[in-house]
Amino acid sequence: MKLNPKADLWVPDEVQGPPAFSRTTHLGIGAHQDDLEFMAYEGILACYEKPTEWFGGVIMTDGRSSSRRGPYANWTDDQIVAERIREQRLAAQIGQYSFIAQLGYLSKEVRPSHAPQVVQDLVTILEAAQPRVVYLHNPADKHDTHVACFLRCLEALRKLPAHQRPEKVLGCEVWRGLDWVLDTEKVGMDVSDRPDLAQKLNEVFATQIIGGKRYDLAVLGRRTANATFYDAHASDQASSLQWAIDLTPLIHNPSLDVVTYTLNFVENLKADIAQRLRQAL
C-alpha cells in the first residue's frame, strides 16, 4: 500500500498484504492518537475476539502539539510523536485491530480544503478495506482539527464508486457531546460490554493522561452519563452509551450541503425547546 512517506502502518497479528485490509468490517478514522478508543469503541467491541469481524484504524495527525506535564514536561515534539505512535500501536494490539495506519500529518496540513495527499491516503485505505461501518468525528465537534479531519474523510468517501461506499457512516462524540441531538435523530451505541477492555484502551495513552488531561476518566464518565440521562421515565437499559449522528446520507448523496445538514440538527433542537416551553406557559 502506497501512503505518504511519514505514514506508520502496522498490523498487530502480522498478516501480510491485502488481507490485512480486506478483512476489515469496521473502520475508525480519527484526528489524533486515542480518538478511536474514545469515539469508536462500539466498532472495537463489535470485532473483539470475532474471527469474521475486524476493526481497522486510521490516525491522521502526528499529535505533536499535545499538552505535556510530569515526566513529559521537557520532551521535544519529536519525542512526543514517537511515543504517541508507540501508544497507538499498543492500543491496536490490545484491541486486536486488523491494522492501524498513522498518517503523520501536521494539523495545518489537514485543515486546508481538498488537501490532495491527505484525501488520496484516505481513498487508498478505504478502497483496500471497503468496511461496512465507518466511524468519524462529528461535524459539530468544537476542535478545529477534528472538523477538518471529518471534512477530508467526507471528500474521500465521496470519491469512492457507489458500490465501494460503506453501508453506515457515523459521526461520534469527542470534543462536543451529542446528548443535545433529539432522541429521534441520534444514534445510540451501547458499549456496556467489556468495561475492562475500555479502561485498558483508555489507559494506554499516558502521554495525554499524565500530561494533564484525564481522558481515561472523562470518556467513561460521559458514557455512564449518557446511559443514565437518556430516558427520564425508565430504568437504564445500558450502563454505558455513546451517541453519534448518522452521516450516511452525506456519503450517498454528494449534493447534500454539509453545513445545512449539520445545522438541521440544531434547528430541530431549537424547535423542540420552543415547543416544550410554549406548552408549559
The SS3 of residue 257 is coil
Mean pLDDT of the chain: 95
Q: Per residue in 48-66, is it b (16+ CB within 10 Å) or e — as a string? A: beeeebbbbbbbbbbbeeb
164-188 pLDDT, tens digit per residue, is: 999 999 999 999 999 999 999 999 9
Give the whole-angstrom CA distance, residue 67 versus residue 8.
22
pTM of the complete model beyond 0.85: yes
The set of cell numbers assigned to 218 is 472523562
Q: What angle do CA 247, 104, 52 make, to 5 degrees?
A: 55
121-169 pLDDT, tens digit per residue, is: 999 999 999 999 999 999 999 999 999 999 999 999 999 999 999 999 9
233-246 pLDDT, tens digit per residue, is: 888 889 999 999 99
C-alpha torsion angle, residues 103, 111, 38, 242 (rounded to 10): -130
User: Given CA atoms 225, 229, 231, 235 in this order, what sign does their dihedral have?
Assistant: positive
Half-sphere exposure of 178 (CA within 13 A, CB side): 28
pLDDT for residue 64: 86
Any residues with CB less than 8 A from the CB of 257 and at least 6 apart, and which? none
Helical residues (DSSP H) of 54-173, grouped into ranges? 77-94, 107-110, 116-129, 144-159
Fold of 8-255: Rossmann fold (3.40.50)
pLDDT for residue 24: 98
**What is the full per-residue pLDDT of the chain (281 aa) written as tens digits?**
899 999 999 999 999 889 999 999 999 999 999 999 999 999 999 999 999 999 999 999 998 877 777 888 888 999 999 999 999 999 999 999 999 999 999 999 999 887 899 999 999 999 999 999 999 999 999 999 999 999 999 999 999 999 999 999 999 999 999 999 999 999 999 999 999 999 999 999 999 888 678 899 999 999 999 999 998 888 888 999 999 999 999 999 999 999 999 999 999 999 999 999 999 99
The set of cell numbers assigned to 84 is 504517541
